[in-house]
Amino acid sequence: MSPTVNDTTASVLFGTNDDNVRAIERAFDVRINMRNGEVQVAGEPEKVSVVERLIDHLQILEQRGISIRPSSIRTAIRVLSEDPEADVVAFLAGDALSPEVSRIVKPRTVMQRRYLEAIEKMDMTFSIGPAGTGKTFLAVAVAAAQLSEKKVRRIILCRPAVEAGEKLGFLPGDLAEKINPYLRPLYDSLYDILGFERVGKLIEKNVIEVAPLAFMRGRTLSDAFIILDEAQNTTTEQMKMFLTRMGFGSKVVVTGDITQIDLPDGRRSGLREAWATLEGVDGIEFIHFTPKDVVRHPLVGRIVHAYDLREARRNTPDNAG
């Protein structure tokens, strides 16, 4: 039976210049028309069923007072493309996530939702995958939410920089100025979520600390939300040092992309070692993102996929040696 929608849902469904409905048609290879409030979907029965469920869920969300934006439509398309049985209402409404996290950030893929749930539930979470999948941004969002809820007293973000000797020595300025460019992506995530002025005040009060990994040695970090970014560039010794900084009441998130390791030849990535050593340990969860989870410009996902294909061809027996 064709779904019947009210004027508000119809406006959301079609969007400006019919952009939303065209995106749905392209994604599921269907044709959508509306007459007298009745939406008619033509195409393969299985795909028609998915699109009709999507339309029904959009109307439920609208009735619940949840704002639907073009980005929400794209998220719904991505989620249903991965899992045709997915509950779009629960996904877009942020069910199963704390209200504070849902207020700050919305997952855009099934794996992003699993990642957010893992961070809230587990003491330590590793996220491994390509650029643009939201690994760092989502972790910072949960950290900000837990700080607001007073579940932690401070946020500590760190990442490995180049060796603190000769390479940094070629850069102008004091040590802080030399290291700052390597920490800039963490600052950018904080500014996007909390705003420039608030971040500045929290850093002044030492509620937020952004520092290179080397500065973590010898510390015990309690009641803190601790994020290690770009972890693929840690050595095994650095990773072990970082993970053992965790104190009572703390939560740790480690992010990295094992396809972009910048360590010198012969040095094994601490992230790879941690994955091989710690997967299956109680209290730790590993989340693995793929190119289909890239939520930046669509071209980023295609670039990542192209490089993955090239690497796969390079590693086939015919191309070996």
Mean pLDDT value of segment 210-220: 87
- Residue 210 is classified by DSSP as E
- Residue 217 is classified by DSSP as T
Cβ atoms of 105 and 141 within 8 Å: the answer is yes
Mean pLDDT value of segment 282-308: 83
Question: pTM for this structure?
Answer: 0.76
pLDDT reading at 42 higher than 80: yes
Question: What digits encode the pLDDT tens for the residues 81-103?
Answer: 888 888 888 888 776 577 777 77
How much is the pLDDT for 118?
95
Strand arrangement, sheet containing 224-228 = 208-212, 154-159, 224-228, 251-256, 124-128, 284-288
In which band, very low, low, confident or very high, does the pLDDT at 166 lie, cut at 50, 70 and 90?
Answer: very low
Mean pLDDT value of segment 33-50: 88
Structure tokens at 170: 């070629």
How much is the pLDDT for 2?
65
How much is the pLDDT for 62?
83
Best CA proximity match to 277, nearest among 311, 244, 308, 230:
244
Question: What digits encode the pLDDT tens for the residues 265-294?
Answer: 778 999 999 999 999 999 999 999 988 888
Phi, psi of 251 (to 5 degrees): -130, 140
Distance CA(248)–CA(142), nearest Å, equals 18
